[in-house]
Structures are given as C-alpha cells and as structure tokens.
C-alpha cells in the first residue's frame, strides 16, 4: 500500500475508485506506488530531517569560518582628539579589562579602516547565525515529535490565510509562521498550513 504524496496518509482501496482523490486531504493524484511517484512516509520524514541537519551543518561550518576571520581582524573604533589645535586619530578597543588607545596620527590608513568595517560586519553576521543555530537546535530536538501530516491535520487540511482546501484546486504547504532565519523555531506552534499562493505572498513579505 502506498501513501498520498500530499498528506502522506495511507492510500485506501476506495481512493482508487475515486480517480486518486485522497479521502483524507482530497488531493487528486493518479501517481501510485507502481510508478514510483508515491513516497513512503518514513522516507519523507527522513528526508525532512536530513535537510535540517544539512542546513545546520552548513551554518555551523560558516559560523566557525567567520569566527576565525574575526580573530584575525583588528577590533575597535576610531575616535578623534584635538591636541594643540590639530585633530589626531586613535583606535580605541578593549583588551580584557583594559581600554586601549592606539595613536594613528592625522590620517587613518584606508586598509585599516576597511578591516575595521569588515570586522563589524562579520560580528553582525555571527550574531544572526547564532540565533539561527539556536533555532536549528530546537528543530533537532522537536523534529521527531511530529510529521507534516500532523500539521495538515491540525489545520483541517485548510490554508490558514485564505481558507481554501485541495477541493478548491490549491496545493497545500506546511510553512513556518516566523521563518527560521528570522528567529522562529521548527515547532508545532510555529508551523502552519498554507496554500502555494499565500505561501509565496508571505515569503515576499519577509524578503
């Protein structure tokens, strides 16, 4: 016995008699197990889990690369001091418990200025990746507790934005209310059933 490729529930014998309309989510398909188009439920869940692990590993490696780059860049900010009617630049930064002032004269080397700005940019990126990795750790702990079908069933196989169902000819998606890269979690509370059109509109909003 195969599974519906939309909700992953078992395809029952009466599905065949209704031209491949799933009795659970009403998604119409004629692609059955015989031609390899129906994906087994356990394979779908494994693939879903693998995608998150791949994503997490990618950002963990990215995190380490950025952290290493930051360690090799000068830190601090430039300030100006007026001495005897002339302005002089100092690089100020913290070294453990001490605040250090490093004299640079009347001009700031452009290469040094670029490195300081690059470091600030990388620090901001590192902060975002930290937040994302935290979300993915939540994902790893919670991904085994529910499936895509659980979310579809929770929402009665209905788009929670426009109220349409597969009976209206729409294809359903399961999406994060708050995207992972915006600090959302991969949890039941942050997952919602949407149709393809509403899902695209939402992604446009966050992009």
- Domain range spanning residue 7? 1-39
Whether 112 is in a domain gets the answer: yes
Residue matched to tokens 């029952």: 12
Would you call 146 helix, strand, or coil by DSSP? coil
Per the structure, the count of domains in the chain is 2
Output the pLDDT for position 4. Answer: 65
Does residue 201 form part of some domain?
A: no
- What number of CA atoms fall less than 13 Å from residue 99's CA on the CB side? 4
Query: Among candidates 142, 112, 114, 129, which has minimal Cα distance to 52?
Result: 142
Residue 19 belongs to a domain:
yes
pLDDT for the residue numbered 160: 92
- Considering the domain boundaries, does residue 115 fall inside one? yes
Q: Could you tell me the mean pLDDT of each successive run of 10 residues in the chain, 207 residues long?
A: 60 52 64 40 48 72 86 82 83 80 80 85 86 65 66 90 88 85 76 89 63
Number of residues in the chain: 207
Q: Is residue 88 part of a domain?
A: yes
């Amino acid at each position: 016995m195969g599974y519906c490729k939309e909700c992953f529930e078992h395809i029952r014998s009466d599905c065949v008699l209704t031209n491949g309309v799933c009795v659970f989510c009403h998604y119409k398909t004629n692609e059955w197990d015989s031609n390899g188009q129906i994906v087994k439920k356990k394979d779908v869940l494994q693939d879903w889990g693998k995608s998150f692990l791949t994503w997490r590993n990618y950002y963990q490696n990215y995190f380490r690369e950025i952290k290493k780059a930051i360690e090799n860049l000068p830190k601090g900010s430039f300030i100006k001091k007026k001495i005897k009617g002339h302005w002089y630049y100092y690089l100020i930064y913290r070294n453990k418990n001490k605040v250090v002032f490093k004299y640079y004269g009347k001009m700031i080397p452009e290469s040094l200025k670029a490195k300081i700005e690059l470091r600030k940019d990388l620090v901001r990126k590192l902060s975002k990746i930290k937040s994302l990795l935290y979300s993915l750790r939540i994902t790893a702990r919670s991904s085994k507790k529910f499936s895509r079908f659980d979310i579809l069933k929770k929402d009665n196989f209905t788009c929670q934005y426009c109220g349409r169902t597969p009976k209206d000819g729409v294809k359903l998606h399961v999406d994060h209310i708050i995207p992972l890269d915006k600090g959302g979690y991969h949890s039941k509370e942050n997952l919602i059933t949407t149709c393809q059109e509403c899902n695209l509109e939402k992604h446009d909003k966050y992009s």
